[in-house]
Amino acid sequence: MSALLDLHDIARSYVTRKGLFGQRKLVRAVDGISLTVNPGETLGIVGESGSGKSTLGRMALGLETPDEGHVTFDGAPMPSHGTPAWRALRRQMQMVFQDPLGALDRRLPVIEQIIEPLIIHGIDGDHRRAGLTALSAVGLSADHGLRYPHELSGGQRQRVVIARALITDPRLLVCDEPVSALDVSIQAQVVNLLIDLQAARGLGMVFISHDLRVVRQIAARVAVMYLGRVVEEAAATDLFRAPQHPYTRALVSAAPSPGPRRIERVILTGEPPNPAARPTGCAFHPRCPVALPRCRTEAPALSRIAPGHAAACHLLSPAAKVAAR
Amino acid sequence: MTDIANATPAPALRLPRMPWYVAFGMGWIIFVLAVALLADVITPYVFTAMDLKYRLVPPFQTWAHPLGTDELGRDVLSRLIVSIRISLLIAFGATVISAVLGTTLGFLAAHFRGIVEQAVLMLADFQAALPFLILALSVLAFFGNSLPLLIGLMGLYGWERYARIARGLAISASAQGYATAITQLGATPQRVYLRHILPNIASTLIVSMTLIFPEVILLESGLSFLGLGVQPPMTSLGNMVGYGREYITRAAWIMLCPATVIVLTTLAVSLVGDWLRDRLDPTLG
């Protein structure tokens, strides 16, 4: 089975400038990431703010072009942003945004916005009926369709955005923090809705979040990002049961879980990650409780530590295990 | 819930509720427009016809000349009606031209960024720094004077404000919100700009139009006052004020009639524009 979406060693830098005459500085938001999403699979991307996960999502959709590496969708390279080929491809890949009110045009009743992709892509058929079907698929009534975005609650708005994203039957859905602006009780509803829709339609999904609880619920495979790099990637069950990378251990131990605590709580000290001042060597070493002198100088590569489980840490590489033995 | 009621077509035509001053403004604008359209029918005299027996008759003295006559015995009411037509034609024409020009340039700047944006902004700065009256004087002095030229020239007035507003709002829309979302749906830039961004920023643009419209009327008056606008025997509100100033002590009505129309029209447009801005926003009231 070939991958639906393949990110091959992609990197993206931004130029920042401090002050009026400050020096131009390149910030590598995403630094050499390779990931694949198979049809019908949900890949969760976890990381703190500034870890580059949103940039990764934007590059996965072709909204931004990587400086290095390349993105292929369904075996074909991603056309560049704004070209007719790129626009036509939107039918296949859609996005759900963090702020549903910002993603909707506040001057149009929501049903018109839900059916807009059908008009944009020139899809024939009864648009009104398709819109009503889409509304009911996300659990809204026809009456909600006549309202304006500001007359709906946050959860209802996000449902509208999901209905709009799914109306062209896309094969890939990128959700960038889709529930972090919502109430906890509403979060569960929207996440369950996404899980149901994903299962029913066999969507490939990239689910970006900083909330481990949510990712654990929805994702089959999880990639943990730290300062633009993937530090650990594994099946969700493995990753949450037995996190290997010290950063993932800290993250997982910080997430509340029911029952007795199975992993000892790891509390990170030091500065939160700042992409403008990336530490040398392993980017995590200033906060790492088990850092070695080698971590300060040499960046570890992402390598396989178990079947279907990869991590980027000197302590976990096969060579280190041999040395410890 | 009121928005749902408004969204479905109402069975009977219902006038929206409006405050009395907006009703007055609407009424005045409709009245002025009607006068402008019907000018040929309702003028009691040809506006250039002289009646030297009745020179400088004050208003309300005789039924033949309800608003009096000027220094050549021309009927002030007839001249006023024709002046309204000419001035409104210039003001509306110029406002529409400058709004379309400015918004288009602003959108182009927001869409292409880079060198296009720099060029548009530089032009806008140039326009803002240049005293418009001097530009108008030189153009009219070199190219002579005709009504289409005057309208086109006035259409250059104020475009830089629309361009700045349109550019700023379009950039902020694409940066964080619905415009990105709709681009991501696969919409062409035309669709994003015309169907989504334009309606969203229309209220701001309409308010700027109602601010610039009175300025255009006053600018036209100023040019005519200087003898460079509308040329006699053709007449306009500003032209009437300009030529009436010589008689301000003896026959103030020649000047006060058009001046009153200028004040009332600009006031009415501002009042209605302000009200429209609120009405056009579905999130308010």
A171 phi and psi angles, rounded to 5 deg: -105, -15
User: Does ipTM surpass 0.85 in this model?
Assistant: no
Q: Measure CA of the first residue to CA of the last residue in chain B; give whole Å.
A: 10
Of A153, A169, A185, which closes a domain?
A169
Domain count, chain A: 2
Q: Rounded to whole angstroms, how far apart are CA atoms A21 and B202?
A: 38
| Angle between helix B147-155 and B198-225 (nearest 10) | 130
Mean pLDDT of B104-109: 94
Query: What pLDDT does residue A268 have?
Result: 80
Q: Which of A11-20, A172-181, B91-100 has the lowest mean pLDDT?
A: A11-20
Mean pLDDT of B182-188: 88
Residue with more model confidence, A172 or B211: A172
Mean pLDDT of A52-64: 89
Q: What is the CA radius of gyration of chain A?
A: 21
Q: Rounded to whole angstroms, how far apart are CA atoms B270 and A133?
A: 46
Q: What angle do CA B13, A116, B184 make, to 5 degrees?
A: 140
Type of residue at B280: L
Helices (H), chain A: 53-60, 84-89, 100-103, 110-114, 116-120, 127-137, 142-145, 154-166, 184-201, 212-218, 236-241, 246-254, 293-297, 318-324
Query: What pLDDT does residue B239 have?
Result: 83
CATH, residue A303: 3.40.50.300
Q: Rounded to whole angstroms, how far apart are CA atoms A308 and A238?
A: 9
Task: Determine, yes or no, domain membership for A295.
Answer: yes
Query: What pLDDT does residue A261 have?
Result: 63
Inter-residue contact B240 to B258 (CB < 8 Å): yes
Q: How many CB pairs under 8 A join A and B?
A: 66
**Which of B47, B40, B57 is CA-nearest to residue B233?**
B47
Task: Determine, yes or no, domain membership for A145.
Answer: yes
Q: How far A82 CA lies from chain B's nearest CA (Å)? A: 8
Same domain, A41 and A113: no
Same domain, A266 and A195: yes
Q: Which of A189-203, A223-237, B14-28 has the lowest mean pLDDT?
A: B14-28
Label residue A319 by pLDDT band (50, 70, 90): low
Same domain, A294 and A213: yes
Q: Which of A107, A158, A164 to mutate to test the interface with B (most CBs of B within 10 A)?
A: A107
Same domain, A60 and A122: no
Q: What angle do CA A261, A263, A268 make, to 5 degrees?
A: 115
Task: Determine, yes or no, domain membership for A81.
Answer: yes
Task: Determine, yes or no, domain membership for A97.
Answer: no
Paired with A54 in beta bridges are none
Label residue A223 by pLDDT band (50, 70, 90): very high
Of A145, A169, A193, which closes a domain?
A169
Q: Which residues in chain B are closer than 8 Å to A102, comparing Cβ atoms? A: 176-178, 181
Q: How far B216 CA lies from chain A's nearest CA (Å)? A: 31
Residue with more model confidence, A43 or B57: A43
Query: What pLDDT does residue B97 have?
Result: 94
Put simply, whether the predicted model's pTM sits higher than 0.90 gets the answer no
Chain-chain contact of A146 with B185 (C-beta, under 8 angstroms): no
Per residue in B232-280, pLDDT (tens digit) is: 788 888 888 888 888 888 888 888 888 888 889 988 988 888 888 777 7
Q: Which of A18-27, A87-96, A283-292 has the lowest mean pLDDT?
A: A18-27
Of A169, A190, A213, which closes a domain?
A169
Query: What pLDDT does residue B204 have?
Result: 85
Q: Which of A91, A110, A116 to mutate to test the interface with B (most CBs of B within 10 A)?
A: A116
Q: Which residues in chain B are closer than 8 Å to A161, comparing Cβ atoms? A: 181
Task: Determine, yes or no, domain membership for A56.
Answer: yes
Label residue A207 by pLDDT band (50, 70, 90): very high
Q: Which residues in chain A are closer than 8 Å to B196, comparing Cβ atoms? A: 105
Q: How far A172 CA lies from chain B's nearest CA (Å)? A: 13
pLDDT of residue B105 exceeding 90, the answer is yes
Q: What percent of chain B has pLDDT over 70?
A: 92
pLDDT of residue A320 exceeding 70, the answer is no
Query: What pLDDT does residue A241 have?
Result: 87
Same domain, A158 and A180: no
pLDDT of residue B12 exceeding 70, the answer is no
Same domain, A253 and A117: no
| Residue of chain B minimizing CA distance to A117 | B185
Of B7, B180, B186, the CB nearest to A87: B186
Q: Which of B112, B184, B205, B281 to mutate to test the interface with A (most CBs of A within 10 A)?
A: B184
Mean pLDDT of B129-148: 85
What is chain B's mean pLDDT, rounded? 83
Same domain, A31 and A115: no
Of B181, B186, B200, the CB nearest to A121: B186
Same domain, A288 and A224: yes
Inter-residue contact A217 to A257 (CB < 8 Å): no
Q: How far B212 CA lies from chain A's nearest CA (Å)? A: 25
Query: What pLDDT does residue B51 have?
Result: 76
pLDDT of residue A101 exceeding 60, the answer is yes
Q: What is the CATH number of domain B17-279?
A: 1.10.3720.10
Of A61, A121, A146, the CB nearest to B184: A61
Chain-chain contact of B186 with A161 (C-beta, under 8 angstroms): no
| Residue of chain B minimizing CA distance to A164 | B185
Whole domain around residue A144: which residue ranges? 102-169
Task: Determine, yes or no, domain membership for A57.
Answer: yes
Q: How far B177 CA lies from chain A's nearest CA (Å)? A: 5
| Residue of chain B minimizing CA distance to A83 | B188
Residue with more model confidence, B95 or B53: B95
What is chain A's mean pLDDT, rounded? 86
Task: Determine, yes or no, domain membership for A108.
Answer: yes
Same domain, A16 and A143: no
Paired with A35 in beta bridges are A7
Query: What pLDDT does residue B96 have?
Result: 92
Query: What pLDDT does residue B270 have?
Result: 85
pLDDT of residue A318 exceeding 60, the answer is yes
Q: What is the CA radius of gyration of chain B?
A: 22
Query: What pLDDT does residue B125 have?
Result: 92
